[in-house]
């Protein structure tokens, strides 16, 4: 009997989801659960890896049950994940030695600032990894765990500890954990560790030595579409199914948005925003504050690269309005409140809660709201929060254009926030180009499913995947260039106020 479905596990910053897709790329069923955000100190962010693994099992069972799906009808499983979030665990017990250190976490700031001062350090890191020295990436987080968890360095040197980003952690557990679990990652996730050489696609000995990380901790690097291993029959899938797709969440969205041609770009609106531009098979480095990253790899030793603009706090700023300031009960309400005012009343909100990411890369920056007067109501602040998401995207788009010389003609969008029509219209207005929302909005899970299905022959070619992509809505720009330029000038002034806040 021919298999009918491909499953995807999308392990994100705030929640875990399992989705099951049919051959046309339509979602058949989905189950999602949030997990706890742990803030031990200001600027520190952690997750409990055991809670994430528990949630993963729950959503798998939930998706199978909701869709009344027989596991034997599933051809393949794809994994996609919050990328730089770092787990170190005991390979014999499967127990983490510390909580997962989340990509947003700032605890390695002092180390990174000292490292940055070394002559030529940033250039060397950029040349080797395509990245910049930042608290964002996994390497310094692993070093922190080895330096600060009692006994961790000794155990790592003895070969007892394993490292993985969340993709590696989930695959290891699904394939048996301490009983033969496969310790693997793909090129897209490895390119976010600060430990992989962007040209050779192998772990870089010099980076490992500098950070003091034993190579024995690291997973094997494989293509993004490849049979890594099989689920254990006594696990949540209740069957032996190939796990054959693995992509970092933003790269998975590139794949799900079928941005397979040089010059195609997508922007994902999630906890943060991540805009990626396909630059082909040569890893050219940015001169404008962007990262060079692996978009995906379909063959051993080969990759397609992307320029990436990472914006740390976008959807998270809306969550902050909801959870910390209690301005509304549901994130979706932000659209209703923001539409009650015609503009922000002259205020700008720079949500630099984790410093500023692309294209500024300022670890010392902190959030600010500027331009306040007695006129301002909560509706203005909510609208300014939607606008700050659009301004950050505009910053990145301008950097991409400066690097590539290719003007953006339209922007494909995905992620939870794209359901907000006002946000999408503001984005089209501030970019001055159409914004295109696809029918299947959850392109992250879809991209992981596509990579998995390609490896097992469920889908046969990239052209077949392209035929599945369909438009839901196009948002055409209506704002004049003069208005856009004036608003953007105000944003740039606000950015200057946020920079360098921490001495």
Residue 157 marked as a ligand binder: no
Residue 420 marked as a ligand binder: yes
Length of the chain: 503
Contact predicate 270/103, CB 8 Å: no
Residue 416 marked as a ligand binder: yes
Dihedral angle of Cα 206, 209, 211, 217, to the nearest 10 degrees: 110
Residue 366 marked as a ligand binder: no
Residue 444 marked as a ligand binder: no
Of the candidates 114, 116, 115, 107, the one whose C-alpha atom is nearest the C-alpha of residue 135 is 107
Contact predicate 445/247, CB 8 Å: no
Residue 147 marked as a ligand binder: no
Contact predicate 477/340, CB 8 Å: no
Contact predicate 162/219, CB 8 Å: yes
Residue 17 marked as a ligand binder: yes
Residue 15 marked as a ligand binder: yes
Q: Provide the 10 A C-beta neighbour count for residue 407.
A: 10
Across-strand partners of 265? Answer: 277
Of the candidates 475, 473, 455, 477, the one whose C-alpha atom is nearest the C-alpha of residue 465 is 455
Q: E strands, 51-178, where? A: 74-81, 86-90, 100-101, 161-165
Residue 14 marked as a ligand binder: yes
205-213 contacts: CB < 8 A, separation 24 or more? 206/128, 207/125, 207/128, 207/129, 207/139, 211/139, 211/140, 211/142, 211/143, 212/143, 212/146, 212/147, 212/153, 213/139, 213/142, 213/143, 213/146, 213/156, 213/163
Residue 108 marked as a ligand binder: no
Q: Provide the 10 A C-beta neighbour count for residue 353.
A: 18
Of the candidates 342, 347, 388, 349, the one whose C-alpha atom is nearest the C-alpha of residue 371 is 347
DSSP 8-class letter at 497: H
Q: Is 166 helix (H, G, I), strand (E, B) or coil?
A: helix
Residue 315 marked as a ligand binder: yes
Contact predicate 320/327, CB 8 Å: no
Q: Provide the 10 A C-beta neighbour count for residue 362.
A: 17
Query: What token pair was written down for 495?
Result: 């950015």
Determine the Cα–Cα distance for residues 330 and 334; give it in Å rounded to an integer.
Answer: 8
Determine the Cα–Cα distance for residues 176 and 243; give it in Å rounded to an integer.
Answer: 12
> Angle at CA 494, nearest 5°, toward 493 and 498?
120
Residue 478 marked as a ligand binder: no
**Could you tell me which residues are annotated as the binding site for glycerol?**
83-84, 136, 249-250
**Could you tell me which residues are annotated as the binding site for ADP?**
13, 17, 271, 315, 416, 420
**Could you tell me which residues are annotated as the binding site for ATP?**
13-15, 271, 315, 319, 416
**Could you tell me which residues are annotated as the binding site?**
13-15, 17, 83-84, 136, 249-250, 271, 315, 319, 416, 420
**Could you tell me which residues are annotated as the binding site for sn-glycerol 3-phosphate?**
13, 83-84, 136, 249
């Amino acid at each position: 009997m021919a298999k009918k479905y491909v499953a995807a596990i999308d392990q994100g910053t705030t929640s875990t989801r399992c989705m099951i897709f049919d051959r046309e790329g339509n979602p058949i069923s989905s189950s999602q659960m949030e997990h706890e955000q742990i803030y031990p100190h200001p600027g520190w962010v952690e997750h409990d890896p055991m809670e994430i693994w528990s949630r993963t099992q729950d959503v798998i069972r939930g998706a199978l049950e909701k869709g009344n799906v027989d596991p034997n009808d599933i051809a393949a499983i794809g994994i996609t994940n919050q990328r730089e979030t770092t787990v170190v665990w005991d390979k014999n017990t499967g127990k983490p030695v510390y909580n997962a250190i989340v990509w947003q976490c700032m605890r390695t700031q002092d180390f990174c600032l000292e490292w940055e001062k070394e002559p030529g350090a940033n250039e060397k890191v950029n040349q080797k990894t395509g990245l910049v020295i930042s608290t964002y990436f996994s390497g310094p987080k692993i070093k922190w765990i080895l330096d600060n968890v009692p006994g961790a360095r000794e155990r790592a040197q003895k070969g007892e500890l394993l490292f993985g980003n969340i993709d590696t952690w989930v695959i290891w557990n699904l394939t048996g954990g301490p009983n033969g679990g496969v310790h693997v990652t793909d090129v897209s996730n490895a390119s976010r560790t600060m430990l992989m050489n962007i040209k050779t696609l192998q772990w870089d000995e010099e980076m490992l030595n500098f950070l003091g990380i034993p190579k024995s901790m690291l997973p094997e690097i494989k293509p993004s579409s490849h049979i890594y291993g099989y689920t254990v029959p006594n696990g949540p899938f209740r069957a032996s199914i190939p796990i054959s797709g693995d992509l970092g969440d933003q790269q998975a969205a590139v794949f799900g948005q079928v941005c397979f041609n040089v010059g195609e770009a997508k922007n994902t609106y999630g906890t943060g925003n991540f805009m990626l531009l396909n630059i082909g098979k040569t890893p050219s480095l940015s001169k404008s504050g962007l990262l060079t990253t692996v978009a995906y790899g379909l063959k051993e030793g080969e990759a397609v690269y992307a320029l990436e603009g990472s914006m740390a706090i976008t959807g998270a700023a809306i969550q902050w309005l909801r959870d910390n300031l209690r301005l509304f009960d549901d994130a979706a309400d932000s659209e209703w409140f923001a539409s009650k005012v015609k503009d922000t009343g002259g205020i700008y909100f720079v949500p630099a809660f984790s410093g500023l990411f692309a294209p500024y890369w300022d670890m010392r920056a902190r959030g600010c709201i500027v331009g306040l007067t007695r006129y301002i109501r909560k509706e203005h602040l909510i609208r300014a929060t939607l606008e700050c998401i659009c301004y950050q995207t505009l910053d990145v788009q301008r950097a991409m254009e400066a690097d590539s010389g290719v003007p953006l003609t339209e922007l494909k969008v995905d992620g939870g926030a794209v359901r907000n029509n006002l946000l999408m219209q503001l984005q089209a207005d501030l970019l001055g180009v159409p914004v295109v929302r696809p029918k299947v909005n959850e392109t992250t899970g879809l991209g992981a499913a596509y990579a998995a299905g390609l490896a097992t022959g469920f889908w046969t070619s990239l052209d077949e995947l392209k035929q599945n992509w369909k438009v839901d809505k196009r948002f055409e720009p209506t704002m004049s260039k003069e208005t856009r330029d004036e608003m953007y000038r105000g944003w740039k002034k606000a950015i200057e106020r946020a920079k360098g806040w921490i001495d």
